[in-house]
Structure 1
Amino acid sequence: MNEEQGRRRYDSLRRTTQALETRAGIADAARRLFDARGWAGTTVRDVAREAGVSVPTVYATYGNKTGLTRAVADSADLSADAPQMLAELEAAAADPRRQLRAMAGYDRRLFERAGDVITLIREAGRSEPELATAYRDGRERGDETRVQVFASWPAGTLRPGLDLPTAVDIYAAICTIDVYTTLTTERGWLPGRVEEWWGQTLVRELLS
């Protein structure tokens, strides 16, 4: 490869890296403003100014404010480290108690690192149907994981009289952003204590 070809290749890599940095910078700016002003009180122009880019750049990158909010939601999911949960679930395939603790750990990380985003999307969804769908999709993804895990257990693992849909409902009622916020914000619990309590409660409520 001659020097000119090398420069062109690195120029392409540099442009790709810069584009990714721009996307991340815009999403970070949006999250800060959403937290400070609320979804309704934040405009695309505000986000562009906060991120140090032009308004057309924001539109070209994310489409509109709803698309930008979806990107913030996606980053929230990534922050909770789903691969870690998957590895823990696989490692504990023969131990339902450990699997419940792995799922509770994921929820704790999600709420600890991105609870503001989840609350934002839920509230904004009251007036924006697309964001209501995004919130519902996130809840359904969580349910799908629980169905897959619970269905993999041998017969008799669930508490007597408890069917699979009800077990999923009980999990969803215990591990919520509202319970997490009440315990950490109002009651002064540390996130790790919430995770431990969730694990104990899920075992008691779901397993025989």
Structure 2
Amino acid sequence: MTDQPPSRRAEYAEATRVAIVEAARRLFSRHGFVGTKVDDIAAEARVAPATVYAVAGGKQGLLRTLVDQWTQAPVVAETLTRHQAIADPDEILRQTAATVRSMREDYGDIIRLVLTTAPQHAEVAQALEVATTRYRDAVRAVAVRLGEVGGLREGLSVDEATDILWFYFGYSGFFTLVDDNRWTYERSERWLAEQAGAALG
């Protein structure tokens, strides 16, 4: 027995939800979270303001959705799964750097939005806390795997390794190198992997 295809109503509802989320992302990036109104999102998505609340939970619901898209992107779990089949610490770090680069290129606008808005907005600060917990959990998983394959120098704990990895692969690494130093993503990715390896090994 095969699954029934989604009804036309369900397809329309999903298309409407996607349009609202994409409109919010564009407007948040352009005008900021505070500077964007629900009416603006509705106009951009070509729906009624009430639909933005009903379908997406207003601005706060949309922000949570965007944070989920970023922090639960499939590439994170895929990378951690691949690490289980790799015994070379340098390759694990190279793949980690590549994944972080991919996340910056795909979700950098969301990350910047949350980081810059959180100090002035309690609900955004809560979203950042959730995002950071998920992010650090993934970084810790990398540290654990490095420990399993001999990628941590003697006496370096997983907690310490997690902090070191966070220094290189947390929020600031790529933003500093690419935005402030005007490095390419490729150069930044290579340097971060090399420096993290030197700090851990």
Question: TM-score scaled to structure 1, two decimals?
Answer: 0.84
Instruction: Between 179-188 and 72-81, report the one with greater CA deviation.
Output: 72-81
State how many pairs are aligned.
197
Matched, 1:117 2:113: no
Contact persistence 1:167–1:206 (CA under 8 A): yes
Question: 1:154 Cα shift?
Answer: 3.4
CA contact (8 A) 1:35 1:116 kept: yes
| Number of the residue aligned with 1:103 | 96
Give the Cα–Cα distance (whole angstroms) in 1 for the partners of residues 50 and 131 of structure 2: 29
Aligned to 1:66: 60
Query: Cα 1:157–1:87, aligned 2, differ >3 Å: closer, same or farther?
Result: closer
User: In the alignment, residue 173 of structure 1 is paired with which amino acid?
Assistant: F
**1:74 CA drift (Å):** 2.0
Structure 1 unaligned residues grouped into runs of 5+: 1-8
Aligned to 2:196: 202
Q: Distance in 2 between matches of 1:174 and 1:28?
A: 30
Matched, 1:88 2:82: yes
Q: Distance in 2 between matches of 1:70 and 1:115?
A: 16
Q: 1:159 & 1:67 partners in 2: Cα distance?
A: 44
Contact 1:121 1:131 in 2 (8 A): yes
**Cα distance in 1, alignment partners of residues 144 and 116 from structure 2:** 32
CA RMSD in angstroms, aligned pairs only = 2.2
Q: CA deviation at 1:160?
A: 2.9
Give 1:185 shift.
2.5
User: Which amino acid in 2 is paired with 1:164?
Assistant: V
User: Structure 1 residues 78, 193: CA separation in 2 closer, same or farther (over 3 Å shift)?
Assistant: farther
Q: Residues of 1 paired with 2:75 and 2:150: CA distance? A: 31
Matched, 1:54 2:16: no
Residue 139 (str. 1) matches residue 139 (str. 2): no
1:42 and 1:107, CA in 2 relative to 1: closer, same or farther beyond 3 A?
Answer: same
CA deviation after TM superposition for structure 1 residue 169, in Å: 0.8
TM-score, normalised to structure 2's length?
0.87
The residue matched to 1:125 in structure 2 has which SS?
helix
Q: Shift in Å at residue 89 of structure 1?
A: 1.5
Give the structure 2 partner of residue 33 of structure 1.
27
- The Cα shift of 1:195 comes to 1.2
Once residues 123 and 31 of structure 2 are traced to their aligned partners in structure 1, the CA distance between those partners, rounded to angstroms, is 20
Q: Name the larger-Rg structure.
A: 1
Return 5+ residue gaps in structure 2 as ranges: none
Which residue matches 1:185?
179
Q: Decide whether the 8 Å contact of 1:77 with 1:110 is kept in 2.
A: no
Shift of 1:171: 1.0
Partners of 1:16 and 1:78 lie apart in 2 by 24
Q: 2:89, 2:150 within 8 Å by CA — same for their partners in 1?
A: no
More deviation in 67-76 or 149-158?
149-158
Aligned residue for 1:85, secondary structure, equals helix
